[in-house]
Amino acid sequence: MDARRSLLETDGARHRAMRRLIQFEFTPGNVATYETFLRGLTATTLDNAFAKGEFDFVDEVAADFPIRVLAKLLDVPDEDTGQLIEWGNRMVGFDDPEHADVLIDSAESEKYKDLPFRSPAALEVFRYGDELRRQREGKDGKDLISLIVNGVPNDGMKLDDRDFHTNFLLLVVAGNETTRHTITHTMNNLLNNPGQLAFLQENPSAIPWAVEEFLRYASPVFHFRRTATKDTEFAGTRISEGDKVVTWFASGNRDDAVFDNPNTMDCTRNPNEHMTFGRGGPHMCLGNALARIELRIMFEDLIGRLNSMERTGDVDFLRSNFVHGIKRMPVRATQR
């Protein structure tokens, strides 16, 4: 575990110190400054997709957009985005024979147990990160890589090699797959709920709030597993120090004690206290404001220009109990 430890698996003061290094970049105020950039990017992505008429929604729309945002934050060339997507697929698809280099439940994966997702692709990501680190070390860049390479957390301990590798990899994966799948699910969910789509077309001012329902209904991350640090009791269940505890975000998002008609997509649902980014804990998704603005801008533009869209084949789901992913969604679409 230690070999794979990133921000996400670090506790206490060290976690706070590391998170503080980059958290300013992700504040709602800071991500709001990306609005013009995001609008331009969305428009280009959608222009290209609609020009084709028939296309794979994942390839043309959902995958392209979040990875280009990430490329800007990391300050890496747009030409590298295809490679970043491929690495993400190979790692997060650890359970899917189409994507995994080595299936996680195979004996062979033991060889890679010290790598994130037990995936040899992680070594390629580390090497790519090393080169970027070499270029930026000691310079005054403001991109995320420069911040983690040159910044000193307020506990005085710079990130060592492992910290750099695992956190660089976390940034590459966390901002990419999750947002991509949320965009595809949301389009699919709107096609399945034409009344909701029509409502948003007639009431575009409802889209910013509807993003919360997009996130709840998509539940792109099924679960995280944590380890109890002390004996405790939770909702009547005894948990001992060292026990593995799985938090099912997807299940929390369908909790009928919290949500009326949890299996219904209702874009006016308010309150909407979903668990898609975690909830209330110290590891609450650092990128949540960024993901929210990406989703808002994408669907403001997409819903605004959509004349018709229909699926032309099956929705192809990722085989995974970790990420609720969609690999392909072929569609035919026209714009107004």
DSSP string, 210-223: HHHHHHHHH--B-E
Quickly tell me which residue has 């985005």 as its tokens: 81
Give the residue with the Cβ less far from ligand HEM, 129 or 287: 287
C-alpha to C-alpha distance for 164 and 187, rounded to whole angstroms = 35
Mapped onto helix, strand or coil, the DSSP state of residue 327 is strand
Distance separating alpha carbons of residues 207 and 303, to the nearest angstrom = 9
Nearest CB to ligand HEM, comparing residues 102 and 285: 285
Compute the C-alpha angle 52/180/117, nearest 5°: 130
Residues 6+ apart with CB under 8 A from 176: 66, 67, 70, 84, 85, 88
DSSP 8-state symbol, 278:
B
For 212-259, where are the E strands, in sequence order?
A: 223-227, 232-234, 237-239, 244-248
Instruction: Compare residues 174 and 210 and give the one whose CB is closer to ligand HEM.
Output: 174
Shortest approach of ligand HEM to residue 256 CB, angstroms?
21
User: Least distance in Å: CB of 20 to ligand HEM?
Assistant: 10
Contact 269, 199 (CB under 8 A): no
Shortest Å, Cβ 298 to ligand HEM: 11
* H or E segment and range at residue 310: strand 306-311
Separation of alpha carbons 335 and 324, rounded Å: 28
3-state secondary structure (DSSP) of residue 266: coil
Q: Which is nearer to ligand HEM, 229 or 307 (CB)?
A: 229
197/325 with CB nearer ligand HEM? 325
Which C-beta is closer to ligand HEM: that of 170 or that of 191?
A: 170
Residue closer to ligand HEM, measured from CB, 224 or 248: 224
Minimal distance, residue 5 CB to ligand HEM, in Å: 11
Beta bridge partners of 330: 56
CB of 115 to ligand HEM, least distance (A): 18
Q: How far is the CB of 142 from ligand HEM (least distance, A)?
A: 15
How far is the C-alpha of 293 from the C-alpha of 310, rounded, in Å? Answer: 26
- We find the least distance from the C-beta atom of residue 334 to ligand HEM, in angstroms, to be 28
* Binding interface with ligand HEM (CB under 6 A): 7-8, 19, 170-171, 174-175, 178-179, 182, 220-221, 224, 249, 276-278, 281, 283-287, 290-291
CA 10/CA 283 separation, integer angstroms: 9
Q: What is the Cα–Cα distance from 128 to 80, expressed in whole angstroms?
A: 10
Give the nearer residue to ligand HEM in terms of CB position, either 50 or 222. Answer: 222
Task: State the nearest-atom distance from the C-beta of 174 to ligand HEM, in Å.
Answer: 4
> Residue 58 or 291: which CB sits closer to ligand HEM?
291
The residue number whose beta carbon is nearest to ligand HEM equals 287
Task: Write down the least CB distance from residue 194 to ligand HEM, Å.
Answer: 24
Looking up tokens 């789509």 gives 197
Task: Give the integer Cα–Cα distance in Å for 203 and 224.
Answer: 36
